[in-house]
A and B are shown apart, each in its own frame.
Chain A
């Protein structure tokens, strides 16, 4: 977790008058990261934005109960993961899961791949690979997808993932191994 070290661990022993300022700083620091995780999970910009708002609203309501035992980012990520789960479990929104009107096509996310110093041929190849990874990620179970994205998009450590998901490190490793195997199979099958 590269971007979450500025304010952590949060010292909750500060006076109450500083709580609002602390929370504002946490929002400013971690909002892009939470949004990115939710966007990668849902592949829907509007939904990711809504869930990000909900995440910080919930965090704000419970900010006083946050004791700083884990990093603020891990705490926020845990809220985001739970919100995402609740969203998909909500029967009223199941329809959207199937239609996903706002969700981008699988290969569209690959269009955002920076070109860097690659040749056109290399760029096309890289885009194709990203599309394959996206397709494989979409087929993963919810838990595997969450762990995979936290590991390979957010670059979280296994211990952080374990804290955010509420699983043991061993379980996280097992899920991650299965997820990687599926992605590898997807890449290998297309060659």
Chain B
């Protein structure tokens, strides 16, 4: 086939024969190479799998991190609120205790004042009916 094709193209028939032979061999080698490569089994899964797995793992890790972070934040906020409530209750109880103490002190003071007043009033004022006796007592003490 190739010898016929190049017979008219060149002045040198020997060169055309050689070219024809070379082209025939080139065609045969390409066909043989293609047949071998075409029938060679291929695996196409491995190239894609690692990326997919890594993406999946990263997605799960990120999701777990976000969920754990959200739950932790919720717990922490709840705990803080409980502590604040407890502190407020302690503060209120302390204030109530101080108020009660102050009221008790005030009441005690009032009682003491009242008793002192009664005592002084009783000791200084002598009823008129008792005046002669009081004179006697004064005389007895001052002979």
Which of A's residues lie within 8 Å of B, judged by CB? Answer: 32, 35-36, 39-40, 45, 48-49, 109-114, 126, 129-130, 132-134, 137, 152-153, 155, 177, 180, 183-184, 187-188
Question: A110 to B15, alpha carbons, bound, how many Å?
Answer: 20
Complex interface bits, B27-51 against A, C-beta within 8 A gives 1, otherwise 0: 1111111111110101000000000
Q: Which residues of B contact A129 (CB under 8 A)?
A: 18, 21-22, 25-26
Closest B-chain residue to A46, C-beta based? B42
Task: Indicate if the CB atoms of B19 and A49 lie closer than 8 Å.
Answer: no
Nearest CB of chain A from residue B22's CB, rounded to whole Å: 4
Task: Please name 18 further chain A to chain B contacts, defined as beta carbons within 8 Å, in addition to the given A109-B29, A109-B33, sorted by A numbering.
Answer: A32-B38, A35-B34, A35-B38, A36-B34, A39-B34, A39-B37, A48-B37, A111-B29, A112-B30, A114-B32, A126-B21, A133-B22, A133-B23, A152-B26, A155-B1, A183-B19, A184-B19, A188-B15
| Contact between A112 and B19, CB atoms less than 8 A apart | no
The interface residues of chain A lying within 8 Å CB-to-CB of B6 are 180
Interface, chain B (partner A; CB < 8 A): 1-2, 6, 9-10, 15, 18-19, 21-23, 25-38, 40, 42
> How far does the Cβ of A138 sit from chain B's closest Cβ, in whole Å?
12
Q: B40 — which chain A residues lie within 8 A by C-beta?
A: 45
CB distance from A191 to the nearest CB of B (A): 8
Q: A133-B22, A187-B22 are in contact. Are A114 and B34 (CB under 8 A)?
A: no
C-alpha spacing A39/B25, complex, angstroms: 16
Report 7 cross-chain contacts, Cβ distance below 8 Å, ordered by A residue.
Answer: A36-B30, A36-B31, A39-B33, A112-B30, A137-B26, A152-B26, A153-B31
Q: Would A187 and B19 count as touching, CB distance under 8 A? A: yes
Inter-chain contacts of B32 with A (CB < 8 A): 112-114
> In the bound complex, do residue B26 and residue A112 qualify as a contact, i.e. CB atoms below 8 Å apart?
no
CB neighbours of A155 from chain B (8 A)? 1, 27
Q: Which residues of A contact B25 (CB under 8 A)?
A: 113, 126, 129-130, 133
Task: Find the B residue at minimum CB distance from A154.
Answer: B27
- Kindly state the separation between the CA atoms of A17 and B1 in the bound complex, as whole angstroms: 42
